[in-house]
Amino acid sequence: MKILAINGSPRKGNNDFILDNILSYAQKKGAETSMITLRNLNIKFCSGGDYCCPKTGKCVVNDDMKDIYGKLDESDIIILASPSYFSNVSAMMKNFMDRCNPYYFNKKLKGKKGFLIGTGGKEKSIREMLEIMGNFLSILEIEHIGSYCAVADKKGDIEKNQKVIKELKDIGDKLK
């Protein structure tokens, strides 16, 4: 079981903590896990050139997305994590989503499983963002197996919450 997490936060904060915990518990249960932290990579914007569609299903932009496509192709479960920014995903996560346009044509993610994580100061904002992320999964025909909504605003907020830590263990233990 290969679990790939895509971390869309621009800082080492709440999403990093959540993902580190979930992945370490999943690993203890035997999963092969890895995390892609978008802020550390060079990922250009989608050029909108339609080179990926409809025939090739391949992106022509030459950057770090090349490695990510390979890892997405090999994964069984894809976790997407983002802070809510103005009730939407972070710009990094949106850029990642746009660069997944080849999958709309080549259908290589169809049937994989997707789990969503959202953080933010207000639950309503997080849920609005999770809906947008859910649309991404459904357009690419990825099975939406669950979501986690973490109300945490300041960096480190999440680490103080024992209930959250227990919930992250439960998610990591059960991911399959």
Cβ closer to ligand FMN: 87 or 106? 87
Query: Measured from the CB of residue 155, what is the shortest distance to ligand FMN in angstroms?
Result: 5
Give the Cα separation of 20 and 16 in Å (integer).
6
**How many degrees, rounded to 5, is the angle at CA 25 between CA 124 and CA 112?**
65
Cβ closer to ligand FMN: 8 or 102? 8
Cβ closer to ligand FMN: 52 or 164? 164
Cβ(4)–Cβ(58) below 8 Å = no
For position 45 contacting ligand FMN by CB under 6 A, the verdict is no
Query: Measured from the CB of residue 15, what is the shortest distance to ligand FMN in angstroms?
Result: 3
For position 103 contacting ligand FMN by CB under 6 A, the verdict is no
Buried b (16+ CB within 10 A) or exposed e, 54-74: eeeeebeeeeebeebbeebee
3 state SS of 3: strand
Query: Measured from the CB of residue 153, what is the shortest distance to ligand FMN in angstroms?
Result: 5
Cβ closer to ligand FMN: 58 or 122? 122
Q: What is the largest CA-CA distance in the chain?
A: 50
For position 152 contacting ligand FMN by CB under 6 A, the verdict is yes
For position 120 contacting ligand FMN by CB under 6 A, the verdict is yes
**Residue 60 CB partners (closer than 8 Å, separation 6+):** 47, 49, 51, 52
Cβ(173)–Cβ(32) below 8 Å = no
Among 14, 21, 33, 37, binds ligand FMN (CB under 6 A): 14
Binding mask 16-35 for ligand FMN (x = CB under 6 A): --------------------
**Residue 62 CB partners (closer than 8 Å, separation 6+):** none
For position 85 contacting ligand FMN by CB under 6 A, the verdict is yes
Write out the residues near ligand FMN by the rule CB under 6 A: 9, 11, 13-15, 83-87, 119-122, 125-126, 152-153, 155
